[in-house]
Amino acid sequence: MKYNAIIIGGGAAGLSAALYLARAGLAPLIFAGSPPGGQLMLTSEVENFPGRESILGGELIDVMRKQAQKFGGIIVDENVKSVGLVGAGRDLPVQHTIESASGKIYQTKALIIATGAKALWMGLDSETRLRGKGVSACATCDAFFFKNKIVAVIGGGDSALEEALTLTKFASKVYIVHRRAEFKASKIMQKRVFEHEKIEIIWNSAIEEIIGEKKVEGMRIKAVGVGRDRPVQEIKLNGVFVAIGHRPDTDLFKGQIELDQKGYVLTTTMYALEKLKAEGLKLKDMKFDVGYQTMTSVGGVFGAGDCVDHVYKQASTAAGMGVQAALDAERYLEKI
Ligand code: NDP
Q: Residue 24: which H helix or E strand, with range?
A: none
CA 141/CA 298 separation, integer angstroms: 34
Q: How confident is the model at residue 92 (pLDDT cuts 50, 70, 90)?
A: low
pLDDT at 157 (0 to 100): 93
Using CA atoms, how far residue 127 sits from 195, 209, 255, in Å, is 29, 8, 34
pLDDT at 37 (0 to 100): 80
Max intra-chain CA distance, the chain: 67
Task: Taking residues 232-242, report their average pLDDT.
Answer: 97
Name the residue at shortest CA distance from atom 38 of ligand 1.
Answer: 158
Per mean pLDDT, which range of 37-41, 196-200, 314-318 is the poorest?
Answer: 37-41
Residues 296-335, buried b or exposed e (16+ Cβ, 10 A)? Answer: bbbbbbbbbbbbbbbeebbbebbbbbbbbbbbbbbebbee
Per mean pLDDT, which range of 106-115, 194-203, 248-257, 277-286 is the poorest?
Answer: 277-286
Per-residue pLDDT tens for 57-66?
899 999 999 9
Residue 3 has pLDDT above 80, yes or no: yes
pLDDT at 143 (0 to 100): 93
pLDDT at 274 (0 to 100): 85
CA 202/CA 200 separation, integer angstroms: 7
Q: How confident is the model at residue 44 (pLDDT cuts 50, 70, 90)?
A: low
Task: Taking residues 300-311, report their average pLDDT.
Answer: 96
pLDDT at 15 (0 to 100): 98
Nearest atom in ligand 1 to the alpha carbon of residue 245 is 25
Name the residue at shortest CA distance from atom 14 of ligand 1.
Answer: 244
Structural domains of the chain, with CATH? 2-118+247-335 (3.50.50.60), 126-242 (3.50.50.60)
Give the chain's end-to-end CA distance (angstroms, integer). Answer: 20
pLDDT at 237 (0 to 100): 98
* CA 43 – ligand 1 centroid, Å: 21
Q: What is the 3-state secondary structure (H, E, C) of 132-151?
A: CCCEECCHHHHHHHHCCCEE
156 lines ligand 1 (CB under 6 A): yes
pLDDT at 205 (0 to 100): 96
Residue 307 designated active-site: no
* CA 220 – ligand 1 centroid, Å: 22
224 lines ligand 1 (CB under 6 A): no
Annotated catalytic residue within 91, 141, 158, 309: 141
Residue 138 designated active-site: yes
| Inter-axis angle of helices 57-70 and 12-23, nearest 10 | 20
Q: How confident is the model at residue 99 (pLDDT cuts 50, 70, 90)?
A: very high
Alpha helices in 131-204 (DSSP H): 139-142, 158-168, 187-195
DSSP conformation letters of 315-333: HHHHHHHHHHHHHHHHHHH
* CA 246 – ligand 1 centroid, Å: 8
Q: Give SS3 for 314.
A: coil
Task: Taking residues 109-114, report their average pLDDT.
Answer: 97
Q: How confident is the model at residue 42 (pLDDT cuts 50, 70, 90)?
A: low
Q: Mean pLDDT across the chain, nearest whole number?
A: 92
pLDDT at 287 (0 to 100): 66
Half-sphere exposure of 29 (CA within 13 A, CB side): 21
Residue 156's nearest CA partner among 242, 94, 261 is 242
What is the pTM assigned to this prediction? 0.80
Per mean pLDDT, which range of 7-21, 66-80, 270-284 is the poorest?
Answer: 270-284
Percent of the chain residues past pLDDT 70, beyond the cut: 95
119 lines ligand 1 (CB under 6 A): no
Residue 227 has pLDDT above 90, yes or no: no
Report the sign of the C-alpha dihedral through residues 121, 125, 126, 129, in that order: positive
Name the residue at shortest CA distance from atom 21 of ligand 1.
Answer: 155
Residue 120 has pLDDT above 90, yes or no: yes
Residue 91 has pLDDT above 70, yes or no: no
* Best mutation site among 118, 138, 153, 159 for ligand 1 pocket (most ligand atoms within 8 Å of CB): 159
Residue 209 has pLDDT above 90, yes or no: yes
Higher pLDDT, 288 or 301: 301
Query: Phi first, then psi: what are they for 247, rounded to 5°?
Result: -130, 120
